Structure 1
Amino acid sequence: MSLQDQEAFLSNIHPFEVLTQEQLDTCIKHMDIAYYAKDSTLISPEKIPNYFFIIIKGTVYEYKEDEVVMDYHQQDSFDANSLIYGKSKNTFKVHEDLICYELEKKTFLNLLENNKAFKDFFLENLVNRIKTLKDKEYTSQLSSFMIAKVDDALVHDACVVEEDTKLLDAIQKSMEYKTSTIIVKRDDEYGIITDSLLKVKVLLEGRDLSIPVKEIAIFPLMTVFNDDYLFDALSVLIKRNIKRVGVVNSQGEMQGILEQIDVLSHFANNTYIVDTQIKKSKTIDALKNSSKDLLNIIKSLQAKGVKVHHISNLIGQLNTKVYKKLYKLIVPEELQKDACFIVMGSEGRNEQIIKTDQDNALVIKSGVDVEQYRPYMEKMTETLIDFGYPPCEGNIMVSNPFWCKTVDEYKKETARWIEAPDMQNYMDLAIFFDSYAVAGDKELLINLKDDLFNKLHDKDVFMAYFAKATLTFDTPSTVANFMTKKHTIDIKKTAVFPIVQGIRSLALRERIRETTTVRRIKILEQRKILEKDRADELLEAFDVVNTLRLNAHLEYLRENKEVINEIDTHSLGKIERDLLKDSFKIVIDFKKFINYTFKIDKIS
């Protein structure tokens, strides 16, 4: 292999690309090619190497006692720790005949001392390592808008007045600011007065302009932080059906106003158009046409490197608006107020991006005749199927009488789930706990959640069995466990579900109403149930595995195949494989934490 080939090879391996040309030249000068036969031991507690290994061809297994904990393939490197700390707890043995580069220990350690980025990669914690790998994998895909913060957009100067300011004086000040928006400060919160509000509350009601602004201002004003991602600001605007938000700094001080039209100018997809069409839809056919572009939005955002969490949040908001509008179009107005249409499972958690199935139900006020809702709920299911939302294989849909009943009937059901638990009841409870109200009277669902939390008080044994589902599926401890002839692995069972179920179990025990896994993790960290490092690790791993899952889903759609949760492990690039390895480590460790926290081994 020529020097140019060696340089090209190294430059494509992270983190060697951060080396200067002089450092890269030094590296190549002190690096040789070596061959090791199968079963050769390269590193062990008794054998500390004098080289840093980079694989050209072949496979190396890392053993902890007799268990394979990691495997290394082409372009993988190992084991920096044995060189840095002069010891190794594990054994590295050749599994398939190995051809590799050997970089002299002295040279490797000198590179660590003289290049901070190179050193940081090998010494940073697992969370930072994942972030570094993700940045490298997706940097080429990221468009400028994705990494744009609120501060990067056009933030208009805010016309801020105190709550007792005369309306006339406030209007005059707004004209000086050349804005139609007046921000009213009341103690530590802000309110808003717009032109449309002036027309309704002043002109039409014949009020005098000498009144204080607090009499007509709307509190509170929705705000975002100036260092939030602009994409998150768009999600707020769409969710709240508003045209502007206030921008505050970390101390809560008003910095300016972010207008909807300025946010939209940053984005090159038709999200806003779809949102507007959904709101304006007056017939089922019009609503169907409005929602048909959701998949194109997903593809567009994914292609631009938008994080899965952001995509699911945005698509979840749009899906919610479709359900809400459909509920109003199908259910007679006089019946709407006495019921609550809810989505459950992944939809309730706002984590279903591609339409894989329906999970929905109806909660009806006690004392109201359920039968009058049946035909409308059947039409809801049929219409959603027509819209492209596949039916649930387990029939967890509003057309099923089991998922269409009164508050009192649901309370009896949850009591049965808890007092006579089996696998089906655990699953039903898990799905129901993730429920989110999208239309109708939301208080009905709040009532049910309160009742559920009260029933679970002091039910430690039940919670242990509920949490045990986290351990249902095996998570590979090494890529070798799934780089099989089959080529595929179910990413949902091995990684997504354990995180979701484990976090769901903790959230249920802690009476957390939030449904999304990401926000549950953050709340659990705030409550000191999860240490910050573990919470950070779970957030990063959850993003990695869901990104791989979404990529696989879109590939199935491109090939006109049924969307399933299996990913082709042999199609993964090196960085994706490294990300998956690190994510599996986090999932396995989290399972141990859940096992210990809920004392699952005591009930097994």
Structure 2
Amino acid sequence: MSIQDQESFLSKTHPFEVLTPSQMATCIEHMDIAYYPKDTVLISPEKIPNYFFIIIKGSVYEYSPENIVIMDYQSEDTFDSNSLIYGECKNSFIVNEELICYEIEKTTFLELIDKNQTFKDFFLKDLVNKIRTLKDKENTSQLSSFMIARVEDTLIHEACIVSKDTKLIDAIDKSMKYKTSTIIVESENHEYGIITDSLLKVKVLLEGRDLSIPVSSIAIFPLLTIKQDDYLFEALTILVKKNIKRVGVVDNSGKMVGILEQIDILSHFANHTYVIESKIKNAKSIEDLKDASKDFIDIITSLHTKGVKIHHISNLIGQLNTKVYQKIFSLLLPLELQKDACLFVMGSEGRNEQIIKTDQDNALIVRDGVDIEQYRPYMQQITDSLIFLGYPPCEGNIMVSNKDWCKSYSDFKNDIARWVNDTQNMKNFLDLAIFVDSFSVAGDKEMLIDLKEFLYSKIQNDIFMAYFAKSTTAFETPTTISSFIGKENLINIKKAAIFPIVQGVRSLALKEKIKETTTIKRIQILEQRKVLDKDKAAELIEAFEIANTLRLRNQIELLQKNKPLSNEIDANNLGKIERDLLKESFKIVNDFKKIISYIFKLDKIY
């Protein structure tokens, strides 16, 4: 292989592309090609190498001290720099398929680390930071102002701020000098309220109030705010969720910096999310909603293509889906029936993690003493309408049109007691799992809140929690990717990575009586409560993000080809960095399964 070929190969192998020309030349000068037959032990606790390995062809397996395969390495992969840096290794690296590789002399490798900080940082980073570095490299070609823009990167209007005791007429006078229709009212401890033109019309003109009143008597508290270094996309999500036209911008101390207007965010993003939200809001019929919901895929594809993080996409789509449910509820259900019922979603919808419409999991609670039969025709209409809008029916029939999921408050309470007390019926655990993720979308949400409080009060049995958590380990998570390369068998990304994280985190959240439903927020709360340490929480979030990103990309490709949706991913279609990310994610998932097994003592149940 010529020097040019060697340089070309190294330039494609991260992080060697960061070397300077002279450092690259030094590297090549002290690099040879080597061959090793199958089963050769390259590194072990007793055998620390004198070379840094880069695979050209073949594969190497990494084994734990228990002789379990925990990682596989293939073409362009490197492995275990730690053995050279620290002079020790806990695991063993053994050739799985005949190996042809580059060997860089240990002294040269350590010299490169010493002279190139970026090169050094990669090898000395913890697992989460390595994953993030790989993700950044993967996304480099996709990065745009859309993805990385922060609030401070767009137009922030100077705020007209007055104290809470200011007379309204003086505040109006000040706002005219600022040439704004928005007045910000400051209270103690950087707490802010807001007065808008529409509020002045309703609270002052229509009520005939005197302009000498203090601004605090009509201001709306609190003003929703966002930090200036937050992502601009998060501000857009708040606007869509809360149906508002502006948010306050504060610095890290909470002090008001200015006002961010809806129109400025929309002009920055130049997408039609707001148009869809407006269509939903103004819909007068289910047919009108069809026009709005059909654009969801375009938004999802656009956001994914531009590199927006998966949990931001799911959050935004989740808010739009909630608005669809609310509109259907208000269009179909008579007003007098709405106040005595609570419509809620469960499963991935309840967790705000269903991006592509895969199915519908929903139910209705009816207040005790109210005739439930009068609701049933409307519930069938809701199911039919959701199907019409592109929400596929649930294969398990967990829908409001099913009498088992449209019942009184007391009947749901009895169900909860049965789910918790009857541990012999596995269906109880399945029903309970999706109910734990429930989220109210319309009607009287207090009924659902009360039912979940009742559920938390019943969870006191360690045996029950062990059976509930057991399904975390129900599906195998591959320890290698190479076994799928060149083969027809596919990786089910949901079973291998997404479900174990969701169920494991859900089990911990139920044990801790955490009310949050989204997986990432649950992880963050578990970290705050010291149930998960900081590093493990960060690893889980990264693995969850990677697995869902690969799943979404695969689903979008299937939709574009008019093929049925699937959770199965062809490893042959993954790029080098994607395979690396997936391997690291599987390692994190397998470690998490061990944590769940330990916490819930899964070895004690059968």
TM-score range, shorter chain: over 0.9
Partner of 1:124: 125
Partner of 1:396: 398
Question: Which aligned pairs between 1:97-116 and structure 2 lie closer than 5 A?
Answer: 97-116=98-117
Distance in structure 2 (CA, Å) of the matches to 1:206 and 1:228? 41
Distance in structure 2 (CA, Å) of the matches to 1:393 and 1:336? 27
Which stretch has the larger CA shift, 74-83 or 257-266?
Answer: 74-83
Question: Which aligned pairs between 1:94-173 and structure 2 lie closer than 5 A?
Answer: 94-173=95-174
Post-superposition CA distance 1:82-138 (Å, at most 9, x none): 211223232222222222111111110000111111111111111111111111011
Partner of 1:37: 37
- Does the CA-based 8 Å contact 2:146-2:306 persist in structure 1? no
Q: Does 1:76 align with 2:77?
A: yes
- Does the CA-based 8 Å contact 1:476-1:482 persist in structure 2? no
Distance in structure 2 (CA, Å) of the matches to 1:366 and 1:575? 56
Q: How many residue pairs end up in the alignment?
A: 603
Post-superposition CA distance 1:302-349 (Å, at most 9, x none): 111111101000000001101100111111111111101111000000
Q: Secondary structure at the match of 1:135?
A: helix
Partner of 2:501: 499
Deviation at 1:481, TM superposition (A): 5.1
Q: Secondary structure at the match of 2:58?
A: strand
User: 1:415 pairs with 410, 417, 423, which one?
Assistant: 417
Q: Could you tell me which amino acid in structure 2 is paired with residue 595 of structure 1? A: S
Partner of 2:28: 28
Q: Does 1:5 align with 2:8?
A: no
User: 2:327 pairs with 325, 328, 347, which one?
Assistant: 325
Post-superposition CA distance 1:16-44 (Å, at most 9, x none): 11111111111111111222222333223
Give TM-score scaled by structure 1 length: 0.98
Partner of 1:63: 63
Distance in structure 2 (CA, Å) of the matches to 1:530 and 1:82? 28
Distance in structure 1 (CA, Å) of the matches to 2:312 and 2:587? 24
- Does the CA-based 8 Å contact 2:156-2:260 persist in structure 1? yes
Deviation at 1:62, TM superposition (A): 2.0
Q: Secondary structure at the match of 1:78?
A: coil
Partner of 2:563: 561
Q: For structure 1, list consecutive stretches of 5 or more residues without a partner in the other structure.
A: none
Q: Could you tell me which amino acid in structure 1 is paired with residue 234 of structure 2? A: D
Q: Could you tell me which amino acid in structure 2 is paired with residue 477 of structure 1? A: T
User: 1:361 pairs with 336, 360, 363, which one?
Assistant: 363
- Does the CA-based 8 Å contact 2:249-2:256 persist in structure 1? yes
Q: Secondary structure at the match of 1:62?
A: strand
Deviation at 1:190, TM superposition (A): 1.0
RMSD of aligned Cα (Å): 1.2
Distance in structure 2 (CA, Å) of the matches to 1:227 and 1:600? 43
- Does the CA-based 8 Å contact 1:487-1:570 persist in structure 2? no
Partner of 1:181: 182
Q: Could you tell me which amino acid in structure 2 is paired with residue 177 of structure 1? A: Y
Q: Could you tell me which amino acid in structure 2 is paired with residue 174 of structure 1? A: S
- Does the CA-based 8 Å contact 1:159-1:183 persist in structure 2? yes
Distance in structure 2 (CA, Å) of the matches to 1:527 and 1:59? 41
Q: Does 1:509 align with 2:511?
A: yes
Partner of 1:294: 296
Distance in structure 2 (CA, Å) of the matches to 1:560 and 1:138? 26
Q: Could you tell me which amino acid in structure 2 is paired with residue 430 of structure 1? A: A
Distance in structure 2 (CA, Å) of the matches to 1:469 and 1:581? 22
Question: Which aligned pairs between 1:261-340 and structure 2 lie closer than 5 A?
Answer: 261-340=263-342
Distance in structure 1 (CA, Å) of the matches to 2:524 and 2:572? 34
Post-superposition CA distance 1:65-96 (Å, at most 9, x none): 53322211110112312211223232222222
Partner of 2:475: 473
- Does the CA-based 8 Å contact 2:70-2:587 persist in structure 1? no
Cα separation, partners in 2 of 1:57 and 1:484, compared to 1, 3 Å:
closer
Partner of 1:453: 456
Partner of 2:439: 436
Partner of 2:245: 243
Deviation at 1:528, TM superposition (A): 1.8
Deviation at 1:482, TM superposition (A): 4.2
- Does the CA-based 8 Å contact 1:166-1:212 persist in structure 2? yes
Post-superposition CA distance 1:537-581 (Å, at most 9, x none): 111111111101111111111221110111111211111111111
- Does the CA-based 8 Å contact 1:60-1:73 persist in structure 2? yes
Q: Secondary structure at the match of 2:317?
A: helix
User: 2:222 pairs with 220, 223, 232, which one?
Assistant: 220
- Does the CA-based 8 Å contact 1:70-1:480 persist in structure 2? no
Distance in structure 2 (CA, Å) of the matches to 1:250 and 1:409? 48
Q: For structure 2, list consecutive stretches of 5 or more residues without a partner in the other structure.
A: none
Distance in structure 2 (CA, Å) of the matches to 1:459 and 1:89? 38
Distance in structure 1 (CA, Å) of the matches to 2:524 and 2:38? 46
Deviation at 1:484, TM superposition (A): 6.9
- Does the CA-based 8 Å contact 2:74-2:482 persist in structure 1? no
- Does the CA-based 8 Å contact 2:280-2:327 persist in structure 1? yes
User: 2:387 pairs with 342, 360, 385, which one?
Assistant: 385
- Does the CA-based 8 Å contact 2:72-2:479 persist in structure 1? no
Give TM-score scaled by structure 2 length: 0.98
Distance in structure 1 (CA, Å) of the matches to 2:374 and 2:473? 42
- Does the CA-based 8 Å contact 2:182-2:195 persist in structure 1? yes
Which stretch has the larger CA shift, 79-88 or 536-545?
Answer: 79-88
Distance in structure 2 (CA, Å) of the matches to 1:179 and 1:438? 35
Partner of 1:523: 525
Partner of 1:54: 54
